[in-house]
A and B are shown apart, each in its own frame.
Chain A
Amino acid sequence: MSLATTVRSASDLGLVTLVGIAMVVITVVLAVLSPVLSPYDPIASNADAALMGSSWAHWLGTDAYGRDVLSRTLYGGRFALVVSVLATTICVALGALIGALAAFYEGWIDGAITRVLDAVLAVPAVLWLLLIVSVFGSGTWVIVVAIAAVYTPAVARVTRGAARPVMRSAYVVAAQSRGEMSLPIIVREVFPNILDTILVEYAMRACWVILLVSTLSFLGFGVNPPNPDWGLMIQENRTALVVAPMGTLSPIIALAVLVVGLNLAADGLGKYLGVDRAMRGVA
């Protein structure tokens, strides 16, 4: 793709989508650069400076342990972002594969896959996570694998739904009439035509994973104190909200910017690629 066409397609995405992408990019850049940008060590407590309001020294004030809210907010997205990228990548890759296979092998294989997916979906995601965390503990990798495992069936279901009409399309029938094998049909004919759906699904899943990770931290099963995390910060600071509101508000705002941005980007991308994502519920 030449530079000119890239630029044109960027403008085709629409202003709202570009704003969304910008919101995501800013949050990610700030999180990546947090070691450089943070004025203080995010876990260094200072009993003398507890629950201070905004000042030149602490722009966003401090929390109950006297830790700098700005530094903790800058660092606070790192865990959720890393988990989100890893877990989303795993569950989308795995889910897309399972969904495509289910769509390809109609009949009993599809039936069996669908039943298994449905059985996993029958137990709410949060409950699965809590079960897994209570069995294996809450390490980063446990959380990544758990979230990936819990969301894979949902992605598989969406992919299956997108791949089924493609499987019936005349160009797949044409490939079958040439006597093409299964793999070339999936790779050459089906996959390029469900890529749009998968891309949008990725953006959307990433949103939900971030929300889920912060929820876990908020419930006390994610990041361990004193490490900074938005969900955890909201949990820790909400009791002191009246005294030092920024301790709660800044992680909320940071989280909202990231997730609203992702949602806007996913929406715009979906519209641009012709994938209607409003037809999906939370799963």
Chain B
Amino acid sequence: MIYVVRRLLASIITLFLASFFVFFAVQALPGDVAQQLLGQNATPEAVETLREKLGLNQGIWTRYFDWLGSAVRGDLGTSLVSGEPVSTTLWTAFTHTLLIAIPAMIIGIAISVLLGVWAAARRGRRADNTISVLSLITMSIPEFVVATVLIIVFAIAIPIFPAVVLQGPSASFSDLFPAMWLPIATLVFSMVAYIIRSTRSSTIDGLTTEYATTAELKGVKRRVVLLRHVLPTAMLPVLPVISINVAWLLGGVVVTETVFNYPGVGKLMIDSVSTRDLPVLQAIALLSACVYVLVNLAADLLALLLDPRQRTSGRASKRQRPDPALEAKTSEASG
């Protein structure tokens, strides 16, 4: 329990620091931000109005805490471009992103864990070699290439799916439904390789442990050894890899959404970069950081569920410290 509380505290600090970095990175814009945003030809009045709007006449720390304080209350400011509240725009985009990210996440994790375990069980044989080579190649192909190829095949050559979303951010679910499958496929393709590789590697380690051998020598079937004895522990090091990928999926998949013109957070990000809509960019970064922290927290809690060693509170921290008695024992055993 103490562990969970400490973990929560650390998450909050991480979020706070991330917000700090994002804010100051944006504020580091050289020269007068308002002038920069409006260009050299802007009238002094226009610049002054923008300065007022951005609160540039106040100190930077005041602005930071104002921004953070409003953000905590759900007020992320107003877009410089549309003049609408950022939170509304961002929320709409985020629901669109979830629509492709969640199916991609479920399908991607299922496929990759399955393939990873399968490859490990068939280590060194044809299935393993095929999976390993394919995942290495998958890893080497950038997302935008995958998206482009999928469009060529499934939207142009065999026109089953629309190539791009034609409706903008106001698209309804029925508009998006036919157009979400190619983005989902792209995302699945882009994430599976890493999870497959780590699952395979960790499962192979698990299969060579003494407890796996002991179980086999008890007369347990190989498949049962794999599923019951090896997998729960072998998944532990895979969890962080999965959580990184999930955070990436939820935090805005810029490339995929751009290629398919899909109105999610990633597309919003790209649009805001070209219009230099700083409040929106800051809000997106904050959202991504929240997602990252939450997903990591979820992964840690899942690890707690999978690993009884971490559950026994206090012991986990004890294991961190070098214990001469323990060391003596392990070396005696190796003698």
Asked if A and B touch directly (CB within 8 angstroms), the answer is: yes
A residues with a Cβ closer than 8 A to B are 115-116, 118-124, 126-128, 130-136, 168, 207, 211, 214-215, 218-219, 221, 231, 234-235, 238, 241-242, 248, 252, 255-256, 259-260, 262-264, 267, 276, 278-283
**B82 part of interface (Cβ distance < 8 Å):** no
Chain B residue contacts of A221, Cβ below 8 A: 273
Q: Residue among A135, A136, A238 with the most chain B CB within 10 A?
A: A135
Assuming A122-B14, A124-B292, A131-B25, what are 20 further A-B pairs, CB within 8 angstroms?
Answer: A115-B10, A119-B20, A120-B18, A122-B288, A124-B247, A124-B252, A127-B251, A131-B22, A134-B273, A136-B29, A207-B140, A214-B142, A215-B144, A219-B270, A231-B142, A241-B148, A248-B148, A263-B140, A279-B241, A281-B240
Q: Which residues of A contact B92 (CB under 8 A)?
A: none
Known: A131-B25, A131-B285. A282 touches B140 (CB 8 A): no
**Known A-B contacts A123-B288, A168-B322, A281-B241; A134 and B276 likewise in contact (beta carbons under 8 Å):** yes
| C-alpha gap A215/B242 in the complex (Å) | 22
Which of A119, A231, A262, A281 is within 8 Å of B18, CB to CB? A119
What are the residues of chain A within 8 A of B273 when measuring CB–CB?
130-131, 133-134, 221
Does B137 sit within 8 A of A, measured CB to CB?
yes
With contact pairs A136-B30, A238-B148 given, residues A122 and B237 touching in the complex (Cβ less than 8 Å): no
Residues of B within 8 A of A219 (CB): 254-255, 258, 270
A-B residue pairs, 4 tightest by C-beta: A119-B17, A281-B241, A259-B140, A278-B197
Please name the residue on chain A nearest to B29 by beta carbon: A135
Main secondary structure of the interface of A (DSSP, over half): helix
- Contact, CB under 8 Å: B144 / A119: no
How far apart are the CA atoms of A248 and B195 in the complex, in Å?
Answer: 29
State whether the Cβ of B128 lies closer than 8 Å to any Cβ in chain A: no
Does B13 reach chain A (CB closer than 8 Å)?
A: yes
Tell me the dominant secondary structure on chain B's binding face.
helix
B202 CB-CB contact with A under 8 Å: yes
Q: Are B139 and A127 neighbours in the complex by a CB distance under 8 Å? A: no
Within the assembled complex, what's the spacing in Å between the Cα atoms of A116 and B14? Answer: 7
Pairwise interchain contact B269-A127, C-beta atoms closer than 8 A:
yes
Measured between beta carbons, the chain A residues less than 8 angstroms from B254 are 126-127, 130, 219
B184 CB within 8 Å of chain A: no
Q: State which of B142, B202, B241, B293 has its C-beta within 8 Å of the C-beta of A215.
A: B142
Q: Let me know if B136 and A260 touch, CB within 8 A.
A: yes
Interchain CB contact under 8 A, B244 and A281: yes
CB-CB under 8 A for A131 and B26, given A122-B15, A123-B285 = yes
Residues A211 and B142 in contact in the complex (CB < 8 Å), given A124-B252, A281-B245: yes
B131 at the interface (CB under 8 A from A): no
B333 interface hit (Cβ, 8 Å): no
The residue of chain B having its C-beta at the shortest distance from the C-beta of A170 within the complex is: B327
B152 neighbours in A (Cβ, 8 Å): 238, 241
Q: Are A255 and B145 in contact (CB under 8 A)?
A: yes
Q: How far is the CA of A132 from the CA of B281 in the complex (A)?
A: 11
B28 interfacial by beta-carbon distance below 8 Å: yes
The residues in B between 215 and 259 inclusive whose CB is less than 8 angstroms from any CB of A are 237, 240-242, 244-245, 247-248, 251-252, 254-255, 258
With A133-B273, A136-B30, A219-B258 as contacts: A280 and B248 at CB distance below 8 Å: no
Knowing A120-B21, A122-B288, A136-B30, the reply to whether A263 touches B136 (Cβ < 8 A) is yes
Q: Which residues of B contact A283 (CB under 8 A)?
A: 244
Identity of the chain A residue whose Cβ is nearest the Cβ of B199 in the assembled complex = A278
Minimum CB distance partner of B292 in chain A? A122
Minimal Cβ-Cβ distance residue in B for A252: B145
What's the nearest-Cβ distance from chain A to residue B222, in Å?
22
Asked if B96 is at the interface (CB within 8 A of a chain A CB), the reply is: no
